[in-house]
Amino acid sequence: MGRTHPGIAAIALAIAAFLVVFLVVPVVAVVYTAFSDGQGGFTLAHFSAFSGISLMRESFGNSLYVAGMTVGLGTLIAVPLAYLTVRFQFRGAILVQTLGVLPLVMPAFVGAAAMQLLFGRSGSVNLILKDAFGLTLPLMEGLNGVIFVETLHYFPFILLNLSAALANIDSSMEEAAQNLGASGWRLFRKVVFPLAMPGYVAGASLVFIKVFDDLGTPLVLNVTNMLAPQAYLRVTSIGLEDPIGYVICVILVAFSIGAMGGSWWFVKRRDYALVSRGGVQAPKRRLTAWQAALAYGWIAAMLLLVLSPHLGILLLSFSKVWSFTVLPEQFTLGHFATVFTESKQMIWNTFLYCGLAALVDVAIGTAIAYIVLRTRLPGRQLLDHLVTVALAMPGLVLGIGYLRTFKGIELPFGGGALTASWVIFVLAYAVRRLPYALRSCMAALTQVHPALEEAAENLGAGRWSTIRRVVVPLMMGGILAGFVTSFITAAAEISETILLTSRESLAPMSYGIYLYFQSVLGRGPGAALGVIAVGLVALGTYVSHRLVAANSPHQPGGGK
Count CB-CB contacts under 10 A for residue 322: 21
Q: Which is nearer to another protein, 274 or 521 (CB)?
A: 274
Q: Which is nearer to another protein, 273 or 521 (CB)?
A: 273
Q: What is the nearest approach in angstroms of another protein to the Cβ of residue 169?
A: 10
Q: What is the nearest approach in angstroms of another protein to the Cβ of residue 271?
A: 3
CA-closest candidate to residue 436, choices 495, 497, 478? 478
User: Of 94, 132, 135, 273, which one interacts with another protein (CB under 8 A)?
Assistant: 273
Stretch that binds another protein, among 146-154, 177-185, 300-308, 442-450 (CB under 8 A): 177-185
Stretch that binds another protein, among 179-187, 303-311, 514-522, 524-532 (CB under 8 A): 179-187
Q: What is the nearest approach in angstroms of another protein to the Cβ of residue 83?
A: 17
User: Of 64, 101, 173, 461, which one interacts with another protein (CB under 8 A)?
Assistant: 173
Q: What is the nearest approach in angstroms of another protein to the Cβ of residue 181?
A: 4
292 Cβ contact partners less than 8 Å away, ≥ 6 residues apart:
90
Q: What is the dihedral of CA 341, 346, 347, 349, to 10 degrees?
A: 140
Angle 146-151-155 from CA coordinates, rounded to 5°: 155
Q: How, if at all, do strands 88-89 and 319-321 pair? A: unpaired
181 is an interface residue for another protein by CB under 8 A: yes
Count CB-CB contacts under 10 A for residue 218: 31
Stretch that binds another protein, among 89-97, 147-155, 273-281, 289-297 (CB under 8 A): 273-281
**Side chain identity, residue 340:** F
User: Of 6, 278, 408, 556, which one interacts with another protein (CB under 8 A)?
Assistant: 278
Give CA separation, 400 vs 107, 333, 391, in Å: 21, 38, 16
191 is an interface residue for another protein by CB under 8 A: yes
Long-range contacts of the stretch 321-328 (C-beta < 8 A, 24+): 322/117, 323/122, 324/122, 324/127, 325/124, 325/127, 326/124, 326/127, 326/128, 327/124
**Side chain identity, residue 5:** H
CA-closest candidate to residue 306, choices 142, 97, 120, 539? 97
Q: What is the nearest approach in angstroms of another protein to the Cβ of residue 199?
A: 13
CA-CA distance, 385 to 261, in Å (whole number)?
Answer: 12
326 Cβ contact partners less than 8 Å away, ≥ 6 residues apart:
124, 127, 128
Stretch that binds another protein, among 56-64, 172-180, 210-218, 521-529 (CB under 8 A): 172-180
Q: What is the nearest approach in angstroms of another protein to the Cβ of residue 295?
A: 20
User: Of 122, 178, 222, 323, which one interacts with another protein (CB under 8 A)?
Assistant: 178
CA-CA distance, 522 to 40, in Å (whole number)?
Answer: 46
Q: Decide: 445 and 400 in contact? Cβ < 8 Å.
A: no
Q: What is the nearest approach in angstroms of another protein to the Cβ of residue 163?
A: 19
Q: Which is nearer to another protein, 57 or 186 (CB)?
A: 186
Q: What is the nearest approach in angstroms of another protein to the Cβ of residue 285?
A: 11
User: Of 105, 195, 201, 448, which one interacts with another protein (CB under 8 A)?
Assistant: 195
Alpha helices (H) in 448-471, listed in sequence order: 450-458, 463-466
User: Of 177, 287, 400, 494, which one interacts with another protein (CB under 8 A)?
Assistant: 177
User: Of 270, 449, 463, 546, which one interacts with another protein (CB under 8 A)?
Assistant: 270
Pick out residues in 142-171 that bind another protein (CB under 8 A): 170
Q: Which is nearer to another protein, 276 or 323 (CB)?
A: 276
Alpha helices (H) in 168-192, listed in sequence order: 171-179, 184-187
271 is an interface residue for another protein by CB under 8 A: yes
Q: Decide: 266 and 201 in contact? Cβ < 8 Å.
A: yes
Pick out residues in 202-261 that bind another protein (CB under 8 A): none
3-class secondary structure, 417: strand
Stretch that binds another protein, among 191-199, 288-296, 415-423, 426-434 (CB under 8 A): 191-199
175 is an interface residue for another protein by CB under 8 A: yes
Count residues contacting another protein (CB under 8 A)? 28
Q: Which is nearer to another protein, 190 or 468 (CB)?
A: 190
Pick out residues in 283-322 that bind another protein (CB under 8 A): 283
Give CA separation, 82 vs 47, 76, 284, 308, in Å: 42, 11, 13, 21
CA-closest candidate to residue 316, choices 102, 537, 536, 529? 529
Cα 447 → chain centroid: 25
Task: Name the CA radius of gyration of the chain, rounded.
Answer: 25
User: Of 5, 186, 189, 344, which one interacts with another protein (CB under 8 A)?
Assistant: 186
The residues that touch another protein, with contacts defined as CB under 8 A, are 170, 172-173, 175-183, 186, 190-191, 194-195, 197, 270-276, 278-279, 283
